[in-house]
Amino acid sequence: MKKLAISFVLSLLVSVVSFAQVDRSQFPKAGPAPVIKIGEAETFTLDNGLKVFVVENDKLPRISFTLVFERDPLMEGDKAGMTGFVGEMITAGTTNRTKDELDEEIDFIGASLGASATSVSVSSLKKHQEKVLDLMADVLFNPVFPEEELEKLKKQAITALATSKDEPNAISGRLTSAMVYGKDHPYGEVRTEETLKNVTVEDIKQYYQTFFKPNIAYLAIVGDMSKTEAEKVVNAHFSDWEPGDVPTFTYPDPAPAEQNMVGLVDRSSSVQTVIDIAQPIDLTIGDADYIPSRVLNQIFGGGSSSRLFMNLREDKGYTYGAYSSFASDKLIGQFSANASVRTEVTDSAVYEFIYEINKLVEEGVSQEELEKAKANLAGSFGRSLESPATIANFALNIERYDLPEDYYETYLQKMNELTVEDINQTAKDLVNPDKLYITAVGNGTEIKDKLAQFGEVKMFDNMGFPAKEMAAVDADVTASSVIEDYLKAIGGKAKASSIKTVKQVMEADVMGNQLAIDMIYDDSNMRYIQKTKVGGNVMQTAVIKDGKGNAIVQGQTVEMTDEQLDAAKLGMFFLPELYYETMGYTLTLDGIKDVERTPAYKVIVTTPLGSTINNYYAVDSGLKIKNENPVSGDTFYSDYQEKEGVLIPMTQTIKSAMIPVPLEAKVASIEINPALTDADFN
* Residue 81 CB contacts under 8 Å (≥ 6 apart), including other chains: 157, 191, 195, 196, 199
DSSP 321-364: EEEEEEE--SS-EEEEEEEEEEGGGHHHHHHHHHHHHHHHHHH-
Q: Give me the pLDDT at residue 40, please.
A: 57
Q: Give me the pLDDT at residue 554, please.
A: 77
8 A C-beta contact, residue 3 and residue 405:
yes
In a domain, 199, yes or no: yes
Among 117, 116, 119, 112, smallest CA distance to 66 is for: 119
8 A C-beta contact, residue 65 and residue 118:
no
8 A C-beta contact, residue 466 and residue 458:
yes
Distance CA 166, CA 148 (A): 29
One domain for residues 268 and 231:
no
- Average confidence score pLDDT of the chain: 91
12 pLDDT higher than 60: no
One domain for residues 456 and 484:
no
Q: Identify the band that residue 2 occupies on the pLDDT scale cut at 50, 70 and 90.
A: very low
Q: What are 603-659's pLDDT values in tens digits?
A: 999 999 999 999 999 999 999 999 998 878 889 999 999 999 999 999 999 887 677
33 pLDDT higher than 60: no
- Other C-beta atoms within 10 Å of 190: how many? 17
Q: Give me the pLDDT at residue 630, please.
A: 82
In a domain, 447, yes or no: yes
31 pLDDT higher than 80: no
DSSP 582-610: TTT-EEEEEEEEEETTEEEEEEEEE-TTS
Among 382, 54, 111, 4, smallest CA distance to 230 is for: 54
Half-sphere exposure of 176 (CA within 13 A, CB side): 23
End-to-end CA distance of the chain: give it in Å, rounded. Answer: 81
Instruction: Determine which of 420-434, 465-479, 495-509 has the lowest per-residue pLDDT on average.
Output: 465-479
Owning domain of residue 646: 479-681
In a domain, 107, yes or no: yes
In a domain, 28, yes or no: no
3 state SS of 115: strand
Burial (CB count <10 Å: 0-12, 13-18, 19+), residue 186: middle
Decide which of 393 and 30 is more confident: 393
Q: Give me the pLDDT at residue 173, please.
A: 97
In a domain, 100, yes or no: yes
Q: In total, how many domains does the chain have? A: 3
Q: Give me the pLDDT at residue 36, please.
A: 61
One domain for residues 456 and 605:
no
One domain for residues 305 and 429:
yes
Q: What are 371-407's pLDDT values in tens digits?
A: 999 999 999 998 888 888 888 888 899 999 999 988 9
One domain for residues 501 and 362:
no
Report helix angle 147-164 to 83-90, nearest 10.
140
In a domain, 390, yes or no: no
Beta-bridged to residue 122, according to DSSP, are 65, 113
3 state SS of 295: helix
Q: What are 551-564's pLDDT values in tens digits?
A: 988 778 899 999 99
In a domain, 178, yes or no: no
One domain for residues 411 and 551:
no
Q: Give me the pLDDT at residue 602, please.
A: 95
One domain for residues 101 and 228:
yes
CATH number of the domain to which 625 belongs = 2.50.20.10
Q: What are 156-167's pLDDT values in tens digits?
A: 999 889 889 889
3 state SS of 310: helix
1 pLDDT higher than 50: no
CATH number of the domain to which 366 belongs = 3.30.830.10
One domain for residues 592 and 622:
yes
8 A C-beta contact, residue 203 and residue 37:
no
Q: Give me the pLDDT at residue 81, please.
A: 96
3 state SS of 20: helix
* Residue 488 CB contacts under 8 Å (≥ 6 apart), including other chains: 622
DSSP 143: B
34 pLDDT higher than 80: no
Query: Mean per-residue pLDDT for 67-77?
Result: 96
6 pLDDT higher than 50: no
Query: Mean per-residue pLDDT for 577-591?
Result: 94
Instruction: Determine which of 34-43, 124-133, 206-215 has the lowest per-residue pLDDT on average.
Output: 34-43
* Residue 674 CB contacts under 8 Å (≥ 6 apart), including other chains: 501, 502, 503
Q: Identify the band that residue 7 occupies on the pLDDT scale cut at 50, 70 and 90.
A: very low
In a domain, 251, yes or no: no
* Residue 14 CB contacts under 8 Å (≥ 6 apart), including other chains: 31
Decide which of 460 and 1 is more confident: 460
One domain for residues 60 and 108:
yes
Half-sphere exposure of 64 (CA within 13 A, CB side): 18
107 pLDDT higher than 60: yes
One domain for residues 534 and 414:
no
For residue 355, which amino acid is it?
A: Y
| pTM (2 d.p.) | 0.82
Percentage of residues in the chain with pLDDT exceeding 70? 94
Buried b / exposed e along 56-71 (16+ C-beta atoms within 10 A): bbeeeebbbbbbbbbb
Distance CA 141, CA 502 (A): 60
One domain for residues 55 and 158:
yes
Decide which of 270 and 176 is more confident: 176
Instruction: Determine which of 36-50, 92-106, 305-319, 461-475 has the lowest per-residue pLDDT on average.
Output: 36-50
| Sign of the C-alpha dihedral computed for residues 467, 471, 475 and 480 taken in this order | negative
Among 654, 627, 632, 655, smallest CA distance to 166 is for: 655
Among 351, 343, 327, smallest CA distance to 436 is for: 351
DSSP 490-521: TT-HHHHHT--EEEEEEEEEETTEEEEEEEEE
Backbone φ/ψ region at 591: left (φ over 0), alpha (ψ -120 to 50), beta: left
One domain for residues 221 and 285:
no
- Other C-beta atoms within 10 Å of 239: how many? 12
544 pLDDT higher than 50: yes
Among 570, 562, 569, 523, smallest CA distance to 544 is for: 569
